[in-house]
Each structure stands twice: as C-alpha cells, then as structure tokens.
C-alpha cells in the first residue's frame, strides 16, 4: 500500500511534479526529498504514484527491484520515471537467482521509464551441472504496456550450468528480457541506447523478446561480447504463453534500427576484458567448430523491420528461421545493414532441419522476407554470405552487395533447393576472390568490385568509383502491415518504403530520385538547406551526338549511361569528353557524379548517327 507520506506532497503539487530521492546515505524513515532522501529504491517505488520521478543518487545498491501491478504504474500522461542521477550500480552479487527473475522487474505494470542504470553481477552458483533458475538484468513480464528502458548498462548476468543440449537441460540467463505470458500480453515497449555485454547465457540470449509481445522499438543498442545470440525475437514457445493462440504467442510488429551486435559467439569472447568463456550448452557444436549464435535472430517473429544495424564478429550476422513446431519467421524487412566478418554466415534463412515440424526442432520456415540494400563482406565458415537452409519461400532479394571471402559464386548456398521456392532475386552485386563462377548465381548479377572504402576495418561505405552508385531500384511500398503500431510509426496509414528513408549513416536513402546498391547512399550528405553552396550547372554538347560529348564544366566526373529500360551500357571517369560512339540511335540518360564536391547531375542524351 502507498504510504501516507504521499498525502503531504499531493496536497501541494499536481501529478507529474513530485521528485523523490534515494541515496546510499538515506533512510526510509526520511521524507524522500533531496535533503532527506530514502535509502532503498524499492521503498521509493512503493510510495510512488502517477507522474512521479525517482532520482537515485550515485552509489552501489544491493537490492532486487520490482514494479508490480497497477499500484506501481503510471499512465499515458504521467509515467513513473526511475532515473539514475549519476553512476548507479544495481549489484546482484549478494543474491542467488530464484526462478526467472531480474534485478529490475516490471510485472503487470504500465507506463514506466527506467533510465541510466548499471545492472550487473547476478549469477547462479558456480560450479553447477544444471541450474534451472534464470538470472536476468531487466525483466518485463506478464501484462505490460508503454515501458521504456534507456541508457542502461547490463553486464555479468551469468548462468554457470555446465550441462549441454544433449543432456536435455533447460538453463538460461538474459541481459534484458521481455516475456508476454498472457493472452493480453505486452504492447508498446521501447529499448533504447542500452548496452549488454559479458553475459553467460547458456541456451538463452543477451536481449530476448518472447511470447505475446506486439509493438516494440529496439533502437541504438550495443550488444557485444556475450556467449550466445545478441538480439532474439521469438515465437511459438508453448511454455511462454500456454493460453495464447499461435498468432498471439510470437514477437511481432517491431522496429529494430541503429543497433550494433558484435562478438556474440558460442565460442565466447577471448578478447573481452575479462574474457568471456565458451558456452558449455553448445559444447558439441564447439567441438565441431560450428558456430550458431546470430547477432540478430528472428525465430518465429512476424512483421519486424531490421534497418540500419551493424552485425560483426558474431557466429552468424542475421538469421530468420523457425525452431518450433508450426513456426515461421515471416513478413520481415532487412534493409540498410552492414554485415561483415561474422564467423560462419552473413545471412541464414529457413529451418535447420530438412524435416518440416521436426519434433527435435528446426522444422520451421522463413517466408516473405524482404532483403534490400544490405552490404555484406567476408562472412564465411560452414556457410557463406547468404544461405538458404530449408523452407525459404516467397522472399525478395535485391539491391544488395555480396562481397565474399571465397569466389562470387560461393557467396550463395542453397542447401535444399526443392524446399526453397518462389523466391524473387532482383539485381545484386556479387564479388569475391574470383567472379568466373558468377553465372551460377540467381537473379541479375553484377559481378564487379563494389569499391568499399575500407572493408577490412568495417567501413562498407562506397567510394566514388563504385559500380553500386546510381544503379539500384526503388521498391514498391509495403501496404498490408495492419497494426496501430505501424500507423503511428508511418502515418497516416502505416504504409512504408521497405528500403526506408535513410541509409545506414542517417543520410537520405534516395538521392536525386536514384538509389544505390548496398546500405550506404553515396553523395547524399549535402544539405538542401545549405545556401552557402551554389550547385554548379552542367551541360554537355553536342546533343544529339554521334561520336562524343564534351562537358561545359571541367571537373573530375564519374558517369554512367543508361538506356530507357534502366540498363547501364557505359561507365567511366572523365574530365571533359565522353566517347559515345558505341551507342545506337535512341534516347539515353547520363548520370554524373562530381568527385570533388559530390554533386550529381542527370541528363538526357540523344544519339543520332
């Protein structure tokens, strides 16, 4: 029950104006003011009502914190804000996990903001063979809505069980977990600018969205150096929401943008400080040297956008699959991502078992996955840049750059072609140690070096000489994702361009009505509001032409000449003259890029001989 001390404050202030203070030097018999702070965070939560802010002063707090039910909730206008005021550590080192529990818990509560905490050191006993208790940094569970987690650091959440998957053990740990366990479920979750690292998660993941969860934004988080999957969006696990329908019991309607997944691997992270050990739950896979931890994983998720993320140093860059009976990852958009130097695969699609609905797992599907404008670089172990496993159907793949560790042809693997059908391959760039086998690749193939700026260091931006520039196709809007979530994100009706409005650097995705291949839009950094720069005018002559054209403005230009169907016929670099003698009579479009000031021009050219 809320304490009577509230009556004093509420007689003087309206909702949303009260600030309570917690300090390691405080006392729960105090007033909760800055001059007379309380001692424990949980006590402050138990006193709070609509719109109040709890400021936690710097220090180490050894307590488990729970927002439980309507009494600990805010509302739409007046959320409850729990905010660190300085460096605040919620330390779990004195607690032994009991069941599935977090150091911070939100259970059946609403309209809460948790901002700026370090949450760490919650671990099962070590050593142990099988500990079914699940330590979690921050847990949202049951029925909840409008919860914001931002600017938190979660680390050293660990399950030390030594059993492996062949033992049939059920062990796990999570940095941040959202479990929708009822038919009402969880809606409107924002997880923004958090960091999760050095967690030992057994069969679980660093960040998990699981069960009946709809409407989530996962923005600008950094998940690194954990010994299993980074970001996971899960469905169809019957033990999560036994009373839900299959359509309810899955993560859906999510926007995953601007995040980093780095060095998440079942082999651990030996370069972390301190090093993260290998994951014993996967000891058999480790013995075979076969990694399986994805940076980003949709396992039965639906209607999720992955836009502008970076995945590197993981076992797998991205994976869209279905492990459980009747499961499918479907209606997924993957656009504008950098995927480089992952151990085994860049992108893995489909169930890992050839048997549909295999009772041992992996019998699910990947369907209606839209893969546009991603940049891949040297992701190859037992897989390659893009791998179709089993039951990959009705997907669309175009405007991507696949730069393989092997040959261009080896950058695509299809394990089970009869089960992978109705997939539409558009035009993509493929490159590797050789392009002689590129005729084996699907779709329209451009087998040329994309000229990344510095791919070995992860800079997959385009150089001015790149064949990717001005060569892409703008895809049609997606108009059938019907949910209030999409209407709020893309007003008024939820329709959106699958390639997005921004490239991975935050610059306009479409420049001068043209789009590039890959995640980076070259030359789109100039502001249209910069009046200090006067864009030069470019003309060429003669027009019509028969043999050559000369530029009216000297400069260092790259050019591409397209016919009216959009096929590029010529490209090159020039300072003033272009040879067009090989072109037949007709109308063409010439795209110019000034390498000195990054301005672009598109001109019509008539060839008449």
Q: What is the pLDDT of residues 165-205, one digit of tens each?
A: 999 898 999 999 999 999 999 999 999 999 999 999 999 99
Per CATH, the number for 72-489 is: 2.160.20
240 touches 231 (CB < 8 A): no
Secondary structure, 3-state, 446-464? ECCCCCEEEHHHCEEEECC
Q: How far apart are CA 168 and CA 176, in angstroms?
A: 24
Domain with CATH 2.60.40.1220 in the chain: 540-607
Residue 527 has pLDDT above 50, yes or no: no
Task: Tell me the residue ranges of DSSP E strands in 7-164.
Answer: 19-22, 53-61, 65-68, 80-91, 100-107, 110-115, 118-123, 134-141, 144-150, 153-158
Q: Residues 113-171: pLDDT tens digits?
A: 999 999 999 999 998 999 999 999 999 999 999 999 999 999 999 999 999 999 989 89
Split at pLDDT 50, 70, 90, the class of 589 is confident
Tell me if 379 sits within 8 A of 346, measured CB to CB: yes
Cross-strand bridge partners of residue 548: 579
Q: If you average pLDDT over residues 348-377, what whole number do you get?
A: 95
DSSP assignments along 451-516, one per residue: -EEEGGGTEEEEPTT-TTTT---PPPPB----SHHHHHHSTTT--B-TT-SB-TTSSBSSBTTB--
In percent, the amount of the chain with pLDDT more than 90 equals 81
Q: Residue 259 pLDDT more than 70?
A: yes
What are the start and end residues of each CATH 2.160.20 domain in the chain? 72-489
Does residue 600 surpass a pLDDT of 70?
no
pLDDT value of residue 13? 42
pLDDT tens for residues 426-452?
999 999 999 999 999 999 999 999 999
Q: Which one, of 104, 92, 26, lies nearest residue 61 by Cα?
A: 92
Residue 609, pLDDT score: 84
pLDDT at 11 over 70: no
Instruction: Classify residue 200 by its DSSP letter.
Output: B
Mean pLDDT to the nearest integer, 247-271: 97
pLDDT of residue 2 exceeding 80, the answer is no
Q: Which pLDDT score is estimated for 537?
A: 58
* Cα 395 from Cα 392, distance rounded (Å): 7
pLDDT digits (tens, 9 = 90+) for 456-497: 999 999 998 899 998 899 999 999 999 999 999 999 999 999
How far, in Å, CA of 486 to CA of 502, rounded?
17
* Average pLDDT over the chain, rounded to an integer: 91
pTM of the model: 0.87
Asked whether the predicted pLDDT for residue 549 surpasses 80, the reply is yes
Fold classification of 540-607 is: Immunoglobulin-like (2.60.40)
pLDDT digits (tens, 9 = 90+) for 316-331: 999 999 999 999 999 9
């Amino acid at each position: 029950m809320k304490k009577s001390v509230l009556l004093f404050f509420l007689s003087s202030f309206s909702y949303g104006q009260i600030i309570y203070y917690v300090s390691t030097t405080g006392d729960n018999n105090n007033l909760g003011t800055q001059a007379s702070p309380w001692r424990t965070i949980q006590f402050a939560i138990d006193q709070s009502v609509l719109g109040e802010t709890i400021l936690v002063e710097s220090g180490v707090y050894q307590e488990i914190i729970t927002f439980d039910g309507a009494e600990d909730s805010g509302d739409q206008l007046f959320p409850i804000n729990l905010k660190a005021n300085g460096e605040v550590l919620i330390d779990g080192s004195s607690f032994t996990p009991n069941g599935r529990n977090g150091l911070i818990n939100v259970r059946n509560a609403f309209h809460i903001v948790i901002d700026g905490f370090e949450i760490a050191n919650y671990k099962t006993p070590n050593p142990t063979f099988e500990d079914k208790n699940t330590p979690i940094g921050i847990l949202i569970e049951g029925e909840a809505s409008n919860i914001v987690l931002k600017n938190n650091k979660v680390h050293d959440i660990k399950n030390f069980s030594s059993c492996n998957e062949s033992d049939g053990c059920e062990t796990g740990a999570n940095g941040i977990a959202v479990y929708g366990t009822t038919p009402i479920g969880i809606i409107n979750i924002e997880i923004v600018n958090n960091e999760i690292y050095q967690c030992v998660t057994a069969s679980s993941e660093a960040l998990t969205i699981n069960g009946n969860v709809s409407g989530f934004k996962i923005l600008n988080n950094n998940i690194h150096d954990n010994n299993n999957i980074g970001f996971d969006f899960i469905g169809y696990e019957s033990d999560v929401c036994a009373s839900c329908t299959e359509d309810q019991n899955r993560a859906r309607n999510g926007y995953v943008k601007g995040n980093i997944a780095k060095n998440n691997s079942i082999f651990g992270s030996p370069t972390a400080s301190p090093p993260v050990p290998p994951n014993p739950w996967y000891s058999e896979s480790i013995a075979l040297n076969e990694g399986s931890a994805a940076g980003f994983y949709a396992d039965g998720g639906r209607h999720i956008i992955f836009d502008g993320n970076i995945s590197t140093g993981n076992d797998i860059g991205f994976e869209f699959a279905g492990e459980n009976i009747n499961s499918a990852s479907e209606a997924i958009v993957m656009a504008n991502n950098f995927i480089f130097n992952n151990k085994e695969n860049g992108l893995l699609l489909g169930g890992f078992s050839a048997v549909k609905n295999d009772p041992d797992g992996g019998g699910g599907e990947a369907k209606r996955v839209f893969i546009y404008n991603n940049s891949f670089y040297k992701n190859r172990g037992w897989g390659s840049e893009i791998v179709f496993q089993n039951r990959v159907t009705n997907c669309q793949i175009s405007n991507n750059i696949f730069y393989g560790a092997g040959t261009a042809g080896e950058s695509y693997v299809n394990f089970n072609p009869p089960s992978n059908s109705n997939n539409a391959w558009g035009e993509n760039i493929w490159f590797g140690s050789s392009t002689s086998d590129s005729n084996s690749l699907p779709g329209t193939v451009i087998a040329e070096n994309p000229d990344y700026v510095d791919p070995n260091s992860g800079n997959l931006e385009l150089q001015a000489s790149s064949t990717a520039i001005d060569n892409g196709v703008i895809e049609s809007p997606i108009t059938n994702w019907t949910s209030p979530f999409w209407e709020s994100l893309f007003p008024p009706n939820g329709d959106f361009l699958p390639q997005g409005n921004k490239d991975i650097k935050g610059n306009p995705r479409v420049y001068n009505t043209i789009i590039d291949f890959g995640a980076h839009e070259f030359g789109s950094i100039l502001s249209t509001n910069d009046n200090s720069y006067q864009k030069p005018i470019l003309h060429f002559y003669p027009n019509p032409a028969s043999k050559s054209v000369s530029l009216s403005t000297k400069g260092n230009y790259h050019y591409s000449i397209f016919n009216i169907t959009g096929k590029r016929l010529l490209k090159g670099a020039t300072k003033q003259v272009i040879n067009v003698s090989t072109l037949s009579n007709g109308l063409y479009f010439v795209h110019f890029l000034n390498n000195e000031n990054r301005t672009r021009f598109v001109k019509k050219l008539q060839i008449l001989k």
